[in-house]
Amino acid sequence: MRKLLFVLCLLHTYALFAQVPNTLSAADKVYGLSKCWQEANYNFVYLNRINRAQWDSTYRAMITQVQSTTNDYDYYQLLQKFYAGLHDGHTYVSLPGKIVNLQLTKMFGEYWLGTENIDGKAIITRTLKARMKEIPIGSEIIEVNGMPTAKYLTDSVKPYIASSTDYTLEDEAIGGLLRGMTGASYRVKIKRPDGSVLPLTLTHERTKDTAFYPPFPPQAGLLQLKWYNNDIAYLALNAFDDEKIDSLFLDRLPELYKAKALVIDLRNNGGGSTNIGTTILQYLIPDSAMQGFRTSTRQHIGVQKAWGKYLKPEDTIGNAWNKTSWAYNHDDFYFNFDYHPHTFHLQAKRLVVPTLNGEE
């Protein structure tokens, strides 16, 4: 009976993994890898800052590696690892929807584990209410698949994350510590606050239980306004990717005029359009314009890049043409777009009071 149960479990796991698409030919995989390499060579703005020999060597090695992948997920993971080597949070490979739909991070059937980076440790900060005694909040995942968590992060998680800052890399890695495809299993050890250690084997499967501890707060709208003692206004601006927030702010602006101090909470704001955020900001600062970012892009002229190959650094001294050709050859020539500060066009008077950004 135990053998039969074991075989059934294996068949169940195999069935889950069998859903992983395997649609790409070896030629498709090499072509996709080569497109990634080519696009970075032509368009990645910081190409002059990376080790080009290492970048090209990695590409050559991956030509063989991508052809050996057994499914689309493993292939796209290799592409993610390739681009993560550029160390830029805005230069990455997104997984196609057919794979994302099969990927899970916190769900393990009867278990649900939310992890956060707290002092460099993978701390469980949310779980199922039914499991809160077994896995109390504040427990730490200290081992994954036989490795200390720190080593597992270094070897199996961080290499696939595109990030330009160490703290973002650490946060994303710990938050996605156990991310994987449906059916993937992890052997973990969890150290509870009382010091006891719980070994578990967790297998990705959708969790039906929705009673979490602590419970998730109600989903916030685009804008929230609350009042505290001494006429202190709390204003949550939760997204800058929807223009509706501008009109919502203007609707509440007359009420805000009575504020003696203002707290702006951006913790749930994932970003969006600069223009949307600036539309609100113009009412909160006393200036008539705001300086913004400048935009540059790499520029490529093939013949000057070729000419630059024969130049030495000393050839660029006092010679603008040689200097430009040298820059082209070293992927260090840029086109600078025209710059204009943001000018303000107010529909009402400004609100200028002591203001605190809730992210601080």
pLDDT at position 65 is 98
Poorest-pLDDT segment among 25-34, 232-241, 292-301: 292-301
Query: Are the C-beta atoms of 163 and 80 separated by less than 8 Å?
Result: no
For helices 52-67 and 72-84, the axis angle rounded to 10 degrees is 180
For residue 358, the model assigns a pLDDT of: 55
Q: Are residues 85 and 59 in the same domain?
A: yes
- Whether the model clears a pTM of 0.85, i.e. scores above it, the answer is no
Identify whether residues 153 and 127 lie together within a single domain: yes
Residue-level pLDDT at 2: 42
What pLDDT score does 19 carry?
Answer: 81
| Amino acid, single-letter form, for residue 224 | Q
- 267 and 164 in a single domain? The answer is no
Asked if residue 309 belongs to a domain, the reply is yes
d(CA 49, CA 45): 9
Domain boundary among 193, 213, 233: 213
262-273 confidence digits (pLDDT tens): 999 998 898 888
133 and 173 part of one domain: yes
Range of the domain at 200: 104-213
The pLDDT tens digits of the residues spanning 313-348 come to 999 999 999 999 999 999 999 999 999 888 888 888
Q: Are residues 66 and 192 in the same domain?
A: no
Strand-strand pairing, 342-343 and 289-290: antiparallel
Say which CATH number the domain at 266 has.
3.90.226.10
Residue range 17-34: mean pLDDT, rounded: 90
Residue 281, domain member (yes or no): yes
Question: Is 185 domain-assigned?
Answer: yes
> What are the angstrom distances between the C-alpha of 334 and each of 35, 90, 340?
22, 18, 18
Per-residue model confidence (pLDDT) at position 193: 97
pLDDT at 177: 98
10 pLDDT more than 50: no
pLDDT of residue 359: 53
The pLDDT of residue 1: 47
What percent of the chain has pLDDT above 90? 79
Q: Is residue 266 part of a domain?
A: yes
Residue 286 has pLDDT above 90, yes or no: no
Domain co-membership, 330 together with 206: no
Confidence band, pLDDT 50/70/90 cuts, at residue 5: very low
In the chain, % helix, strand, coil (3-state, to 5) comes to 40, 20, 40
Answer yes or no: is 77 within a domain. Answer: yes
CATH number at residue 138: 2.30.42.10
Choice among 164-173, 273-282, 321-330 with the minimum mean pLDDT = 273-282
Q: How far apart are CA 242 and CA 197, in angstroms?
A: 46
Residues 202 and 108 in one domain: yes
> What mean pLDDT, rounded, does the chain reach?
91
Same domain, 114 and 68: no
Q: How far apart are CA 159 and CA 77, in angstroms?
A: 10
Specify the pLDDT at position 121: 98
| 192 found inside a domain | yes
Question: What local confidence, expressed as pLDDT, does residue 14 receive?
Answer: 41
As a whole number of angstroms, the distance between CA 128 and CA 113 comes to 8
Does residue 94 sit within a domain? Answer: yes
Count: domains in the chain: 4
Residue 296 pLDDT > 80: yes
The average pLDDT across 114-120 equals: 97
| Pairwise CA distance, residues 163 & 117, whole Å | 16
Per-residue pLDDT, averaged over 132-150, amounts to 98
Q: Tell me: cis bond preceding 214? Omega within 30 of 0 counts.
A: yes
Q: Tens digit of pLDDT for each residue in 184-219?
A: 999 999 999 999 999 999 999 999 999 999 999 887
Classify residue 10: in a domain, yes or no. no
pLDDT tens-place string over residues 76-107: 999 999 999 999 999 999 999 999 999 999 99
